[in-house]
Amino acid sequence: MTTRAPLPPALAGCTIVVAADRRAGDLVSALERRGGQVYRAPALSIIPNEDDDDLLARTRDLIADPPDIVIVTTGVGFRGWIDAAHENGLAEDLAAALVDAQFVARGPKAHGAIQQAGFTADWVAESETSAEVGEYLTAEGVVGRRIAIQHHGAGADGLDALLAELGADVVSITVYRWGPPPDPKIVHRSVVQAGAGEVDAVLFTSAPGAAEWVRAAGRAGTLDAIRRRAAGGRLLLAAVGPITASPLHDADLHTTIAARGRLGSLVRCVVDHFASGAARQVRTTAGVMEVRSGGVLLDGRFVPLSRAGASVLSELFDASGRVLSREQLGLALPRGGESAHAVEMAVARLREALGGASVIQTIVKRGYRLTVEDPE
């Protein structure tokens, strides 16, 4: 009886960029457990304000005069506020001051942080927007009510002015702010590799971070290539929610949004994309093929490839059965413009790795093609 080879990990051969600072370690660990090669390239950093005198003064003010309503805009911000209270000996007093407040969450991550802190969210914005929060409270009526607003890293987004104009007593709480990327070179590397086919997926957890990553791609001159790869199913751009995805959509980048605005859903979104065949595939004479940056899935079997082999196969894969000349394939090799002999050697090694010559056909005096069953 023949023993069937075990299935490869869902993310085998995938290079994944986590373009996030907050909770990036959790994402990296979860994706690596599923076989991905992951690196972090946060386009912005989170600068906490835990020791900020203004934050502590406003916290003490709310303890002395508790709010009627607490608006939580981000999970990381609310957790940071609670942590700052703990570090400064104010946690018990703050909890007592907030116990009778009405909690309004701007989305599921904020909702989760409220629950984690031991409170109950009375209302959650389905659209994850401050605009919806404003509409809800406008309809509820806020005249004479004291409202604490925990802001996200970009600062005030119009809620303060709106609610104050409606007659509320507004206290703004800013727990963190966005700063420059920890390592601009890594961000540059990520956008270059995403455009060059050396990355299979890029993950985003915040709109400001996504917007800055798009700007980095524009500065590097790779935005058009990223756009083509994403539209063609060769690059997954995945966002934790619709707000995070908005800068990507604004740049006309095809983006997949996690079903629920949580990091676990984002991981499942990536795994499902590559495990379910959502990534681009072609049917060859040797079986269904899906090319990844680190190798190829062929008939359910993962074959690791060298960088040169992956580059050549990627070009043939994208050509979908059309003949590519040696000159064209030479440009795809890592050093670019390689000789015909270098291309022939790369193709020979590639055929050997794939277990035979049948999947790559030599067209005399013209070049090479992938033997697909339904050529385009």
Summarize pLDDT for 294-335 with one digit per residue, the tens.
Answer: 999 998 889 999 888 898 999 999 998 999 999 999 888 877
Q: How confident is the model at residue 355 (pLDDT cuts 50, 70, 90)?
A: confident
Summarize pLDDT for 199-231 with one digit per residue, the tens.
Answer: 999 999 888 899 999 999 999 999 999 999 999
Domain range for residue 31? 15-44+181-275
351 and 294 together in one domain: yes
Amino acid at 115: Q
Q: How confident is the model at residue 2 (pLDDT cuts 50, 70, 90)?
A: very low
CATH code of the domain covering residue 118: 3.40.50.10090
Domain count, the chain: 3
Q: How confident is the model at residue 175 (pLDDT cuts 50, 70, 90)?
A: confident
331 and 185 together in one domain: no
pTM, entire model: 0.78
Provide mean pLDDT across the span 180-199.
95
295's tokens = 């190798």
74's tokens = 């981000």
Please report where in the chains the tokens 């060859």 appear, as a residue: 284
Within a domain: residue 38? yes
> Is the pLDDT reported for residue 3 higher than 80?
no
129 and 197 together in one domain: no
Are the C-beta atoms of residues 45 and 181 closer than 8 Å to each other? Answer: yes
Average pLDDT, the chain: 89
Distance (Å, rounded) from C-alpha 224 to C-alpha 70?
43
53 and 171 together in one domain: yes
Least confident of 62-71, 97-106, 247-256, 341-350: 341-350
108's tokens = 């599921």
CATH code of the domain covering residue 294: 1.10.10.10
